[in-house]
Structure 1
Amino acid sequence: MNTLILRTVAPPITALMLVFSVFVLLRGHNEPGGGFIGGLIAASALAIYGIAYGVSAVRHAIRFHPMAIAGFGLLVGALSGVVSIFAGVPFMTGLWIYPSIFGVEVPLATVISFDIGVYFVVLGSVGSIALALEERETD
């Protein structure tokens, strides 16, 4: 399904979906959203782009192999849990720090780093599956 309409609409739809996936990721635990749903939205955006322009265009756009993205996410998520062990609290306990950046106190937590890890794991694994299915369909 490589129509002119799809090729015209795919880039702005992909961009909007990627921005929305980051929004959903950052909503996190307090409201509906988080890393899993954000990663699914981002993988869906890549799938739409792949349907319009082909798998090679998506692979060129993301620059890394999707499973490498998933591996990076797994590393980030695991490190988020390990940090709590070094702080002397149980594994996967949320820890907060409040650094001052340009005079503004910014709260940072291991919770958001874990969500970012989940985001990348889902993006990489589901994106890899989608790209493999799209490659197989065109053969």
Structure 2
Amino acid sequence: MRSLIFRTAAGYLLPILLLFSVFILLRGHYLPGGGFVGGLIASIAFVLHSIANGIENTKKIFKFHPRILMPMGLCLSLFSGLSPLLVNKPFMTGLWFKEPFPVIGMVGSALFFDIGVYLVVIGVVLTIIFTILESI
């Protein structure tokens, strides 16, 4: 499906959906959402772009294969779980900065865990979808 309307809409929807996915990622500390749902929304944005503009154009946005995101996300999540051990607290205990950050709010180890999940989900979904789209 390569209609002009669909390509134009996909070009506008990509940044909007990515921004919304970051909003959902950051919202996940206090309300439903987080890394998994945010990662799915970001993946959907790239899938929509690849269907409208072709997989090669979408790969140019990345500059690297999305499978690189999986080990990066896993390492970030693991580090956020292990970081409390450095201050003699149990594994996966939440560590929080004392002051809230502007716009984001309270930042702690849970945010880094969610960012790791976000990266893993994007990496897995896009690797699967790109592999399927390349074989068609």
Fold in common (TM above 0.5): yes
Gaps of at least 5 residues in structure 2 are none
How many residue pairs match? The answer is 134
Query: Counterpart in 2 of 1:123?
Result: 122
Within 1, Cα distance between the matches of 2:100 and 2:43? Answer: 34
* Deviation, structure 1 residue 133: 1.2
Within 2, Cα distance between the matches of 1:63 and 1:11? Answer: 18
Within 1, Cα distance between the matches of 2:40 and 2:54? Answer: 19
Query: Counterpart in 2 of 1:11?
Result: 11
Q: How high is the sequence identity, in percent, across the aligned residues?
A: 42
Gaps of at least 5 residues in structure 1 are none
Within 2, Cα distance between the matches of 1:100 and 1:20? Answer: 21
Query: Counterpart in 2 of 1:133?
Result: 132
| Residues 91 and 44 of structure 1, relative CA distance in 2, 3 Å threshold | same
**Contact 2:100-2:107 at 8 Å conserved across structures:** no
**Contact 2:84-2:91 at 8 Å conserved across structures:** yes
Code of the residue aligned with 2:67 in structure 1: it is M
Alignment of 1:1-139 (within 5 A): 1-98=1-98, 107-137=106-136
Could you tell me the TM-score, scaled by structure 2's length?
0.91
Map Cα deviations across residues 79-108 of structure 1 (whole Å, 9 max, x no partner). Answer: 10110111111111111123698xxxx742
Aligned Cα RMSD in Å? 1.8
